[in-house]
Amino acid sequence: MPQHQIAVIVGSLRRDSFNRKLAPPEFSFVNIEIGHLPLYNQDNDGTPPDSIKRLKAEIAASAGLLFVTPEYNRSVPGVLKNAIDHASRPYGQNAWAGKPAGVLGVSVGPIGTAVAQQHLRNILAYLDVPTLGQPEVFLQATEELFDDTGSIGPASRQFLQGWMDKYVAWVKDYAA
């Protein structure tokens, strides 16, 4: 395990997801897949399937969390909320607690996931997850956002790199 492993949780299952492109590909960032998880059912708290045990183990192994999410109907996508609910239970065994989290998002709308991020921050506050406050990252999926190779285009690269540098330093402070 890299010294500061970051668990990346993407709130979109779409093949060509803009948000998936934002998630950094570096070695120490581990993508947590959430699309195959069953719908949360509290009846199964005592007998979680392997997929949920794995989800919670991946979170436990991480020094930090990075949520990259679109906005669905002015909130977080259900698939992301489902994963959050799963790892928060059974009561008293919340895997997210205490893990420092960054929140990013891109949507086609001009407010760039601002409402979804605010909802997500409320959920994370309840789950005892500290979040990096500034700078906020509200991205709109315009033609300039990505270049021809699907990487972040020059207009946003410096801003996102600056955000990432601050986030990584913040997570390291937590781990110290």
Ligand X SMILES: Cc1cc2nc3c(=O)[nH]c(=O)nc-3n(C[C@H](O)[C@H](O)[C@H](O)COP(=O)(O)O)c2cc1C
Q: What one-character-per-residue DSSP string does 134-169 give?
A: SS--EEE--TTTB-TTSSBPHHHHHHHHHHHHHHHH
Our CB check for ligand X shows the closer of 94 and 107 to be 107
Residues numbered 74-93 forming contacts with ligand X, rule: CB under 6 A: 74
**Is 5:173 a contact under the CB 8 Å cutoff?**
no
Q: How far apart are CA 138 and CA 49, in angstroms?
A: 35
Contacting residues for 112 by C-beta, under 8 A, at least 6 apart = 105, 106, 137, 138, 139, 140
What Cα–Cα distance (Å) separates residue 153 from each residue in 24, 157, 158? Answer: 14, 6, 9
Q: Is 18 in the site for ligand X (CB under 6 A)?
A: yes
Q: Does 117 bind ligand X (CB under 6 A)?
A: no
Q: Which residues contact 109 (CB under 8 A, 6 or more apart)?
A: 71, 140
User: How is residue 79 written in tokens?
Assistant: 């698939």
In the complex, residue closest to ligand X by CB:
109
Which one of residues 6, 8, 9, 19 is an interface residue with ligand X (CB under 6 A)?
Answer: 19
CA distance 161 to 53: 33
- Point out which span in 65-73, 86-94, 122-130, 157-165 binds ligand X (CB under 6 A): 65-73
Phi/psi at 160 (nearest 5 deg)? -70, -35
Q: Which of 15, 46 has the CB closer to ligand X?
A: 15
- Under the binding rule (CB under 6 A), the answer on residue 156 touching ligand X is no
39: contact with ligand X by CB under 6 A = no
Q: Does 58 bind ligand X (CB under 6 A)?
A: no
Q: Which of 39, 60, 108, 175 binds ligand X (CB under 6 A)?
A: 108
Near ligand X in 133-152, by CB under 6 A: 141
Q: Examine residue 109 and tell whether it contacts ligand X (CB under 6 A).
A: yes
Under rule CB under 6 A, residue 73 binds ligand X: yes
Footprint of ligand X (CB under 6 A) = 12, 14, 17-19, 70-74, 107-109, 141
